[in-house]
Homo-oligomer: A and B are copies of this chain.
Amino acid sequence: MPRGPRTRTNLLEATLVVAARDGYARATTRAIAEQAGVSEATIYRHFPDKLALFGSAVMHANAQVDEWFAGLPARAGEASVGDNLRECLHRLAGVKAEAIPLELAMLLDPELARSREEHLVAGADLTGPPAQLEAYLAAERSLGRLRGDVDPRTATLALLATLFTAAIGAGPTVDDCVELLVHGMLPPE
């Protein structure tokens, strides 16, 4: 890997590490540069400002699951809905474990509300994994494998919200919460 892109990747991962370890408020340019082993000025060779760095870091983390989620809607009808959803959340919670704190912090910032694009939730249309998840749920519903009165958008958000419990380190795992939702979404046998 050539030097330029490697430094860029270092910075993205350093951002995720610092935000997950020290919290959003302490994810300063200084801490990130130190974690990446470069100078602060180097950040600005690769990103126009701190916000762009954070946004890119979240996208970078998402990229690892994007591929799997891209194929998700096509799997409607396969296996069982419960297993599929469990795997969805499991992947999101596991692979993006370090990205969630940063993502939530950005989500909570009203000033950042406008630049939400590739993030967890968008105002009108979902994108990335959430969008694929919504599409998958819609497909399953039209196959009759989901209760008819379940709104795919609502279900998607409810499922994603369970990731929040992981971010704050509460006792039960994400899996436990998902279980409850799955029960509520499946059609009566």
Contacts and interface: CB of A to CB of B under 8 A. Distances in A.
B165 A181 contact: no
A94 interface: no
Contact of A108 (B104, B155, B162, B170): B104
Interface string A136-169: 0000000000010011011101100110110111
A114 interface: no
Given A21-B110, A110-B23, A172-B153, A158 B184 contact: no
A155 B183 CA distance: 12
Contact of A123 (B120, B155, B167, B171): B171
Tally of this chain's copies:
4
Contacts of A172: 151, 153-154, 157-158
A98 to B, nearest CB: 12
Interface of A: 21-26, 101, 104-105, 107-113, 120-121, 123-124, 147, 150-151, 153-155, 157-158, 161-162, 164-165, 167-172, 176-177, 179-185, 188
Given A26-B111, A158-B177, 18 more contacts: A22-B110, A23-B111, A24-B25, A24-B109, A25-B25, A105-B105, A121-B168, A147-B183, A151-B172, A151-B176, A154-B176, A158-B176, A158-B180, A161-B161, A161-B162, A164-B164, A183-B183, A184-B185
